[in-house]
Amino acid sequence: MRFAGLLISLTLTLLLSVPALGADPVYKKYESKKKDKPLLELAVDRETWTVVLYERDEVQFRAEYAADLVEHKDRSIVIGEAIRLDNSGFEISGRFIPVEDIGTLQVDANDGRGATIITFMSIDPNRKKQSFRKNRDLISYWETIVVDEDKFVRGSVVALSGEVEINGEVNGDVVAVFGDIRVGGDAVIRGDIIAINGSIKLDPESSVYGLVSSSKGDHSSRRNRARRWKKFENNTDWIGICSYDRVDGMTLGGGVTYTDGDSILPSFEATGAYAFASERWRYNLGLTQTIIRGPVPVQIGGKVFRALKSDDDRIIGDGENMIFALLVNEDWKDFYEAEGAYGFVRVGFLKWNRLEIGYLSETQNWLKANTKLWSLFGKKDFRSNFSSVPYDSLQARISDFDDARVTSLTLKLSIDSRDDEKHPQKGWYGFAAYEGSPGDWTGDFDFERTEIKLKRYQPLSRYLSVNLLAAYGRLSGSHIPLNRRFFLGGLGTLHGYRHKEFMGNEYIIISGEYRFRIPHSKISPLVQYDGGKIAIKDNRLASGQKWYGALSVGVDISQNLKIMISKRLDRDDEDTRFYARFSANPF
């Protein structure tokens, strides 16, 4: 037992120091294995130009110039007295690099507060220039670049002293130096758009997944693109899996993911892990293929799996739940095992919307909670699985998990206009989900489940903001499994009430949070109200049913720690409840 405690403590230390463990895989920037070497690097911001010249990977010349020393004249860019760039090549400190010696390029564009770096690479002598440049980077010197509607550029588009017009699809960045950029309504640009000493004209119907910034004031914030389903470069990643809960206990494993940035080859994920407490193997094998690119991309895919599932993912993530379990013997989720397959068609449209239609076939199994598992500071036992359900009712419903099969049609619609996925300041986020399992299908159940949720993040001033939430859910059918029922109360729903205090077939909930950020700090005091009702005894909501409400006061620190004390408003005999959230966006 002492060794087990030491092992888990070590695992927790590694988890808190390595953010990739137990979380969604981090897709790192693809590093080419080609033999191209850097020739020249231009680093440009609003005030300075930095020029670096390489020879056999060694820096031979480096100089920094004020932006007002850069001139555009006679079809040339002149920097200081020793540097000239024109359509024949680059002349730098007495050395001349002809255009023919330049192969591909790398663009590192940021959020406008630093430099945009353009690195011109040499050509691998073992590869013909024609085949190397085909369909990859487009580079123009003193000429206009036009990407037509039916064209696809795998790399970046860069124009020196020329204009850029994009109507097709670009997988990388679009950069113009001393030139303007025009982006049409059918264009898809997966990288950033940067105009240095130029302007940007962006059609609102275009799809741009990165930063838009120019020296003439055109600017939009970079979104957190790591989770965007289309914005990845070619990448193969090895990932680690580490989780801890009261059913599976410690689960350790790993896997590999591959994402094709060109959307030509299929992307896949293969993971496997072993759960020590339940003595079960977990695995997930998934494949996704883009069949239509462009403004309305279409993907098809599927996966086979054996997983520990929970419908409580909507109120707390696995990583945050694991922190509670390891530290204080608190596991907020109820679990069941599912083994089966899922196939889907996914469509992206209207810029930030996504529709997914799927077919699910899985066998459910009941797993008991291991209430005596270890935690660092906890002195109590873990609660049992589905402990909020009355004992007699729970025993009657365990048969829902005894090798019972669910076969269902699923529809998921999401909309996301938030300025940032992890730390949103403004915008909308919403989803609607439907699952239907007809009784005459091959499954053991008969139900229909619909759930809709909408969030609004609204700044009122530099320091004041309001966050709003509305959610509705409805269930119907002659045989509804327990894990598809709705629960309200406690974390993520009605704060101030016992955890999952109410169970029913239909609910409505609204929440509002008002927060004030203390100037020159990352501390935001807040007040939050939660209210709602749920059909407990009757199958449907009615006007006479009780409305439950709670008021909370708390503080948010760095948008990574939220602490609240909450009090229910419908009666006075209940204690005030304390909540701590460790997620970046717990609202």
Assess whether 333 and 442 both reside in one domain. no
Instruction: Return the CATH number at 490.
Output: 2.40.160.50
Query: Which structural domain range is residue 264 located in?
Result: 1-30+233-387
Considering the domain boundaries, does residue 401 fall inside one?
A: no
405 domain-assigned: no
Separation CA 383–CA 304 (nearest Å): 31
- Residue at 576 is within a domain: yes
Kindly state whether residues 276 and 350 are assigned to the same domain: yes
Considering the domain architecture, whether residues 209 and 178 belong to the same structural domain is answered as yes
Count how many domains the chain has. Answer: 3
Q: What percent of the chain has pLDDT over 70?
A: 86
100 lies in some domain: yes
> Among 28-42, 44-58, 222-236, which is the least confidently predicted range?
222-236
Q: 5 φ, ψ to 5°?
A: -65, -40
Domain shared by 158 and 115, yes or no: yes
Q: Give the β-pairing of 427-437 and 402-416.
A: antiparallel
pLDDT exceeds cutoff 80 at 59:
yes
| % of the chain exceeding 90 in pLDDT | 47
- pLDDT the model gives residue 231: 40
- Phi and psi for 98 in degrees, rounded to 5? -70, 155
Among residues 355, 387, 419, the one where a domain terminates is: 387
Q: Decide the pairing of beta strands 193-196 and 200-202.
A: unpaired
Nearest to 23 by CA among 309, 367, 323: 323
Residues with Cβ < 8 Å from 118, sequence gap 6 or more? 41, 42, 44, 105, 106, 107, 158, 175, 177
Same domain, 354 and 451: no
What DSSP letter does each residue of 172-212 carry, written as one string?
S-EEEESS-EEE-TT-EE-S-EEEETS-EEE-TTSEE-S-E
Q: Is 269 domain-assigned?
A: yes
Q: Are residues 466 and 585 in the same domain?
A: yes
Same domain, 10 and 103: no
- Could you tell me if residue 139 is inside a domain? yes
94 and 142 housed in the same domain:
yes
Asked if residue 414 is part of any domain, the answer here is: no
Question: In this structure, is residue 410 part of a structural domain?
Answer: no
Q: How confident is the model at residue 57 (pLDDT cuts 50, 70, 90)?
A: confident
Q: Tell me, yes or no, whether 7 and 52 share the same domain.
A: no
**Residue 564: both structure tokens together:** 């609240």
Residues 578 and 477 in one domain: yes
Long-range (24+ apart) CB contacts under 8 A made by 556-562 are 556/515, 556/523, 556/524, 556/526, 557/522, 557/523, 557/524, 558/522, 559/422, 559/423, 559/522, 559/584, 559/585, 560/584, 562/526, 562/586, 562/587
For residues 458 and 49, the model is more confident at 458
| 481-495 tens-digit pLDDT | 999 999 999 999 999
Alpha helices, H only, 76-227: 129-133
Last residue of a domain, one of 170, 193, 223: 223
- Does one domain contain both 464 and 490? yes
- Are 99 and 117 in the same domain? yes
What's the per-residue H, E or C state across 239-272? EEEEEEECCCEEEEEEEEEEECCCCCCCEEEEEE
